[in-house]
Amino acid sequence: MKPLQTTAFLTTIALLISACAPAGPTSRPVDQGQPSQPAPPRQQHTLTIAIEQEPAYVAGLAPTVSAAATDFYQRPFNAFLDIYDDQNRPLPYLADALPQLNTESWQVFPDGRMETRYRLKPNLVWHDGKPLMAEDFAFTFRVATPAYGFSTAVAPHTVMDDVVATDDRSLMIRWKGLYPDAGALQGGSTRFGLVPMPRHILEKPFLEDTKEAFQDNPYWSREFIGAGPFKVERWELGSYIEAMAFDQHVLGRPKIDRIRFMFMPDHNTVFANLLAGSVDVALNSFGFQQLLELKREWASSNAGTAGFSAVSISTVTSQIRPDYANPRALRDVRVRRALAHGIDKQTLGETIWGGEIQMMDSIFDPTTEYFSVIERSIVKYPYDPRMTERLMNEAGYTKGGDGFFAGLTEGKLTVPLWAGPGRGEQPVIAAGWRAIGLDTSEYVVPRAQTLDPEGRSTFPGEYVSVFGAHETQQMATFLSSQVASAETRWRGENRTGWVNPEYDRLVEAFNVTLDPNTRVPQRAEIARILTEELPNTPLSYNPNAHAYLAPVKGVSKTTKFFTTGRPTWNIYNWEYQ
């Protein structure tokens, strides 16, 4: 649906929603059926937060790999050893301090093994008042295995040899080998690192129940007990989760007493409720065009703030495997470079992101302090139809009478461009390619097919894909060991089939290099290979929209993808004034 365009229409919708919205989920109107009474003190305000779908679980780590959860609503209920702030800086959370290399807290042994040690802050407790102890982390390591459905077949879990509680507050992690992100466990491929689990609740069902019963335990969702700033009080299936401030939260009691996560799958409903003031905060539950409309609407009224965060990168991925590449011309790097020169990223960014999103030339975060070193190694592909034609000619393709490139043997070259539902990049890129002589067919992949591992890996031409933004996830996307195939039952992040032994060696070295200064030129060399060979063409960060009303104070405005929980990282510090 097209975004609403006029202030008058927006105001009408807002008034209608305000009049029709049910009293229970809203934050300001008095509940129907209740006697009229003075407004409660502001600190008693229940902060209403719209999210797109009902969570399958709210635990930071749960044995339900096929179900979805999102970090910004997991964050309020969970606490971790460390936390990343809005500047992507790791800070101690449940831990007194984070391990420091070449100290007693982080030792490297001659055989390449390591040990890291933590001292937990005193008097930590779970939401039920029971002590949170080092053994709860050791229990996680024993229980949270892929065999039980946990997504732990990635670093740092795969590099850990053992987790040992030496006393109630002391924790030691033994490492199988070198791991540069051992000082902040959320720096790996897992979302929250080594998440503590309450042994006093879960040990008995783990030992006595079947695996299926353990996975279906209501603890992971509506009976969750964590250590985050808020604790689950009521879960109305299909409607909302209500949570109350946790008085004994390690960073202090939250400044807001109650929050209510409303499940609101319709973006237009969320948009209208924001305008009506019936929703205080919306997290990834409305479209980007609506975000732009909110920014315009609120620019003069100062009624709220709209922004975005990102945890993924959108790219155009090329099919390179001989069995699936169609046309086969995509296996020629000159053709892939010609396609890259045919993407007008400036127009793309203005058309679908309103000029709000920085377009990218590599997989690496352009806001890091060392990016200038990486940038010097990146091969860039500015929009240049003449360069596209030159490269296509070199590859043996010339324009025919219809204005499209064709080969002597195969005739007109047609490039299939696939994308999942709602990807605005697809029509813009396809139109741009056709305009410069690259015939393009568009295919919108049904949502069910986007979840099929084989379908994601056997596309014929180019695919507008979305991958996790963290550099370790991006690098894994191109490793030869990650090539998805029938032999691997289509498991693996490498969906292009691109293989480069030099790249494999570089990433392998990067993954065990502890010196942060040495890792910068390694990144630069990795960027050089990827941008020369072009298994995919990076486009931009994939934004997740959020918005909050003016009375809500303290919300982080970060766009950094690595911040724990994104805007909710400091939800304990939010206020309603």
The DSSP secondary structure of 223-235, one letter per residue, reads T----SSEEEEEE
| 8-state DSSP, 464 | E
Q: Quick one: pLDDT at residue 221?
A: 92
Tokens encoding 457: 């890996």
* Strands 240-245 vs 258-263: parallel, antiparallel or unpaired: antiparallel
The reported pTM is 0.85
Please choose, from the candidates 527, 418, 416, 531, the residue with its C-alpha nearest in 3D space to the C-alpha of residue 465: 418
Q: Quick one: pLDDT at residue 560?
A: 65
Where the chain has pLDDT below 50, the residues are 1-42
List, in order of start, the domains of the chain with CATH numbers: 7-30+44-57+66-74+228-303 (3.40.190.10), 79-201 (3.90.76.10), 311-542 (3.10.105.10)
Q: What is the distance between the alpha carbons of residues 119 and 105, in angstroms, rounded to a whole number?
A: 9
Bridge partners of 236, per DSSP, are 240
Q: Quick one: pLDDT at residue 2?
A: 37
Peptide bond before 382: cis, by omega within 30 degrees of 0? Answer: no
190 touches 152 (CB < 8 A): yes
Give percent of the chain above pLDDT 70: 91
Q: Quick one: pLDDT at residue 531?
A: 98
13 touches 272 (CB < 8 A): yes
Q: Quick one: pLDDT at residue 413?
A: 96
Q: What is the distance between the alpha carbons of residues 374 and 380, in angstroms, rounded to a whole number?
A: 12
